Chains A and B, each alone.
Chain A
């Protein structure tokens, strides 16, 4: 009996595969921008996604609606700021060189806009991990007075009286009117399918290309010094660590959420995918270049009670890298740039 049901499941799984094959027939290489995927993108060399679309089934229409909302300033109080104002596709959805993004009326917060991709694998959101779910994530920027400063009730009213949105929402969710859950669902469908997995690193992993000797050396150094926190293949282990930026903390980081002494000054380990496209760096955007970041790890690590022991070598803070090693690590970091991801989302 269980054997039979397994076969049925297998058959059902195969159907979309066959359909996809038929569509591809004739093209030998994928040079054009791919159409919006018909199912959530989940690369084979990635672990299972955290976000499973359980109560929010994925559809291309849902994705397109989420995309439109993401770039629509209607989400902000005075209709001037969209999610895309701070999360720019050309910068892998970070804020193109800006340390502290500007919200409504040019106001700034105290944290740097992180890049937005591979969000379906995030266990938590924000630099301090305060938000526990991708669906609820947009609530924070929407109501934050220095970001979009929007009143949620007013926003839902605006969407319901908009010339286009009511029909778009009902075609995705099949409800009479738009509510906040549908808004969050649509944004989650878009964000959870911004998947970056086609950098030179990925191609090397899939055997489609090879690293130069320098890149390979950089990769090995990375695995020795960085991978414990910036863990492959997502280049984060989703933990909170103090990487030695400060001795005392004006932003308490994870401590604000957990209230545990050992979390003082720790922040969520950011992914390093597309890192060459997302300067400046760190939770407050204080470091301008990758050279300076690597220099920080080599010589600038500040001691404190919560400094990660991984950044202490022979009793001294810092990774003690020589100039060639620093250079190689940076060369490796450039192999994490996924230009096809950027191209796909800027067109």
Chain B
């Protein structure tokens, strides 16, 4: 029933998009003046079509592993928006810890966005190297969040934990902790979204416009190329293993849609 509805919505969205694809010029409405907000919603899937949920059991199509997730967290940082005059607004102190451990579609809200029309956006998955080498931090970056390695300084950019009968640990748990802020095994990934190309329009933020952008994240992509949990049940440091998981998982983050208001 749910998938049926989803399909209908998809078709409807596609139809609307086709109808407007030629129209890449500015909105006809006046450009917003007062500050607004942009909400990012992270929709997790298992493979391309199945909805993902925490504490639900999935079978991986490639590795055949049976996996139940008890924790899924990652950092989103350094959010930037490009105005229609092509200048960039960078959110100050832009760090969010997205937690999908209890909610399949968590959101973060970027507030105090200067009111105007935007043509593009940039965000980073993980924490930039500067904050990994500058000592004590606060908020999302506080060590209290359990996303920081004490013995080998650096943020854990993403954590996926859970149980699997296929795991090679006595407790039948798996824990994939992805870090690496610099060097050949860096996992931090920057994403660019061109609103005109991907949403076929300018995005107004401010006044009555506080849009919500949906990003799709395929949790199964963690094992797109990495061996299954029978071979690697725990990753607890940066290195080639974390780099493989990180490249595949962070590579799956894709723009889905953005609402008008």
- Listed in ascending order, the chain A residues whose CB lies under 8 Å from chain B are 55-56, 126, 130-136, 139-140, 143-144, 152-153, 156, 179-181, 184-185, 188, 256-257, 259
Residue from B132, B142, B239 having most chain A Cβ neighbours under 10 A: B142
Q: Which residues of B contact A56 (CB under 8 A)?
A: 135-136
The 7 closest A-B pairs by CB, nearest first: A135-B135, A184-B136, A140-B150, A135-B136, A133-B135, A132-B153, A181-B136
Contact B150 A139 (CB under 8 A): yes
Q: When A136-B143, A179-B142, A259-B239 are in contact, do A184 and B150 touch as well, CB less than 8 Å?
A: no
CB contacts (< 8 Å) of A152 on chain B: these are 143-144
B6 within 8 A of A: no
Flag if B151 contacts A180 (CB, 8 Å).
no
Contact B142 A143 (CB under 8 A): no
Question: Which of A143, A185, A188, A259 contacts B150 (CB under 8 A)?
Answer: A143
Please state if B148 and A139 are interface contacts (CB–CB under 8 Å). Answer: yes
Residues of B within 8 A of A133 (CB): 133-136, 153
Q: Is the CB of A179 within 8 A of B138?
A: yes
Q: Which residue of A lies closest to B132 (CB)?
A: A132
Instruction: Output the least CB separation between A139 and chain B (Å).
Output: 5
Q: How far is the CB of A85 from chain B (nearest CB, A)?
A: 19
Q: Say whether B136 contacts A180, CB under 8 Å.
A: yes
Min distance, Cβ B242 to any Cβ of chain A, angstroms: 11
Contacts of A134 in B (CB 8 A): 135
Asked if B152 CB lies within 8 Å of chain A CBs, one says: yes
Chain B contacts of A184 at CB under 8 A?
A: 135-136
9 CB-based A-B contacts, threshold 8 Å: A130-B151, A130-B152, A130-B153, A131-B151, A133-B135, A179-B138, A179-B144, A188-B136, A259-B239
Residues of B contacting A55 with CB < 8 Å? Answer: 134-135
- Docked complex Cα distance between A130 and B143 (Å): 16
Q: Does B3 contact A (CB under 8 A)?
A: no
- Bound together, the chains give a CA A140 to CA B148 distance in angstroms of 10
Which residues of chain A come closer than 8 Å to B135, judged between CB atoms?
55-56, 133-136, 184, 188
Give Cα A291 to B136, complex, Å.
41
| B239 and A181 within 8 A (CB) | no
Nearest Cβ on chain A to B130's Cβ, whole angstroms:
12
User: Chain B contacts of A135 at CB under 8 A?
Assistant: 135-136
B144 adjacent to A257 (CB under 8 Å): no
Residue of A nearest to B240 (CB): A259
Residues of A within 8 A of B152 (CB): 130-131, 256-257
Output the least CB separation between B177 and chain A (Å).
15
Cβ of B231 under 8 Å from chain A: no
